[in-house]
Amino acid sequence: MSQLEEKTIKTEKIFSGRVISLQVDDVELPNGKTSKREIVKHPGAVAVIAIKDDNKIVMVEQFRKPLERSLVEIPAGKLEAGEEPINTARRELEEETGYVCDELEWLISFYTSPGFADELIHLYVAKGLKKKENAAQLDEDEFVNLVELTLEEAVQYVGEKKIYDAKTAFAVQYLQLKEALKK
Amino acid sequence: MSQLEEKTIKTEKIFSGRVISLQVDDVELPNGKTSKREIVKHPGAVAVIAIKDDNKIVMVEQFRKPLERSLVEIPAGKLEAGEEPINTARRELEEETGYVCDELEWLISFYTSPGFADELIHLYVAKGLKKKENAAQLDEDEFVNLVELTLEEAVQYVGEKKIYDAKTAFAVQYLQLKEALKK
């Protein structure tokens, strides 16, 4: 493992924004040569596979500026400073969908783009969903449409590229696997 | 769908690197207010679920500078300008693992981090693997260790966070689902 390590020679800070920051590191490679690594720093995020008592999956449609289109995704959001991921999950579920839940369990965490970014997503499964009156509100620059899908519809959305991001594709496959193991 | 759209008012180019570029867009929100979006542009990538005749999965261990650690991942790499994704998949499989394959089929594509980046990964399944003498070489700043795992070992690696990225977690779950559907 250690023979793969790249040692930092120099870090150049390029940009520090509201969500991400960017730096370029000069590194020493395992063979002694040098190279540059472009690195995006991200606070990390959570996402929630929220399953209603009728087995419908709660998702949100959201415009994604980097893609210039909207996607249907499982509810998700960035970690705030000092916030426990499970509390972020609870908060984002309520803000984006208006649902609160009885059960919220960690499923898996993964890096989304380890080649250029340190974003780590923590995935949770929520059950016992209930619509809340006067639910917490979205951030003022967030706009989403609530979408509730059967597993069959979600699989169809993957085929139609309405569902088109890694965490949601993983979530749909997770529910397919759970279904297959039941039989 | 259209009522979610964010119109670009202004684009500020921040950085243009070897792999990614960064821009900040001023946008008009659906409610007429304005906000800023930090956007990373990426050329896109491929990844390959490579399954040997003995059912072992071919992976590579690679140091990931953004995380300051190495991960075990399915073979993957960036699209080069004008290159068909399936050819990138064939090339990266050979360069990173020394294997060529008889069959290479597209499985799914997904965006890795739609909130801040446009990276799209195309996932392929490779079968009929054969080690090639004098296989194509890695880029001169790439260093990887070949790792061949049974599905059981791969699932264990997920639990131990040796496998810890979205595309590889998806790949392992895909193989679990295939296995479950066989029974």
pLDDT digits (tens, 9 = 90+) for B30-81: 999 999 999 999 999 999 999 999 999 999 999 999 999 999 999 999 999 9
Mean pLDDT across chain B = 96
Whole-model pTM over 0.95: yes
The pLDDT value recorded for residue A134 is 84
CB-based contact (8 Å) between B151 and chain A? no
Numbered ranges of CATH 3.90.79.10 in chain B = 45-182
Place of tokens 């080649």: A115
Rounded distance between C-alpha atoms, residue B61 and residue B154, angstroms: 13
Average pLDDT over residues B82-94: 97
Range in A13-27, A128-142, B2-16, B47-61 with the lowest mean pLDDT: A128-142
**Interchain contact, B61 vs A145, CB within 8 Å:** no
The whole-angstrom distance between A100's CA and the closest CA on chain B is 24
The pLDDT value recorded for residue B14 is 98
User: Which residues on B lie below 8 Å from A141 (Cβ)?
Assistant: 29, 33, 35
Average pLDDT over residues A106-110: 98
A35, A40, A181 ranked by CB distance to B180: nearest: A181
**Of the candidates B4, B67, B61, the residue with the CA atom closest to the CA atom of residue B30:** B4
Please say if the pLDDT value at position B136 is more than 90: no
Mean pLDDT across chain A = 96
Please say if the pLDDT value at position B2 is more than 80: no
The pLDDT value recorded for residue A2 is 56
pLDDT band at B133 (very low <50, low <70, confident <90, very high): confident
**Interchain contact, B113 vs A113, CB within 8 Å:** yes
Please say if the pLDDT value at position A140 is more than 90: no
Measured in degrees and rounded to the nearest 5, phi and psi for residue B20 equal: -120, 165
A24, A36, A166 ranked by CB distance to B110: nearest: A166
Listed in sequence order, the residues at least 6 apart from A66 whose beta carbon sits closer than 8 Å to its beta carbon are B37, B39, B40, B41, B114, B115, B116, B117, B118
Specify the 3-state DSSP secondary structure of B11: strand
The pLDDT value recorded for residue B141 is 86
In this structure, the number of other CB atoms found within 10 A of the CB of residue B66 comes to 21
Pairing between β-strand A76-78 and β-strand A99-111 as defined by DSSP bridges: unpaired
Residue type, A37: R
CB-based contact (8 Å) between B106 and chain A? no
Strands of the sheet with A7-16, listed across from one edge: A7-16, A21-28, A34-41
Name the residue in chain B with its Cα closest to that of A111.
Answer: B165
The whole-angstrom distance between B113's CA and the closest CA on chain A is 6
Using alpha carbons, list the distances in angstroms from residue B73 to A129, A158, B56, B161, B162. 35, 23, 14, 11, 9
The secondary structure of residue B116, as a DSSP letter, is T
Average pLDDT over residues B80-103: 96
Please say if the pLDDT value at position B113 is more than 80: yes
CATH topology of domain B45-182: Nucleoside Triphosphate Pyrophosphohydrolase (3.90.79)
The number of C-beta contacts closer than 8 angstroms across A and B is 206
Average pLDDT over residues B115-141: 93
Q: What percent of chain B has pLDDT over 70?
A: 99
Rounded distance between C-alpha atoms, residue A54 and residue A42, angstroms: 36
pLDDT band at B140 (very low <50, low <70, confident <90, very high): confident
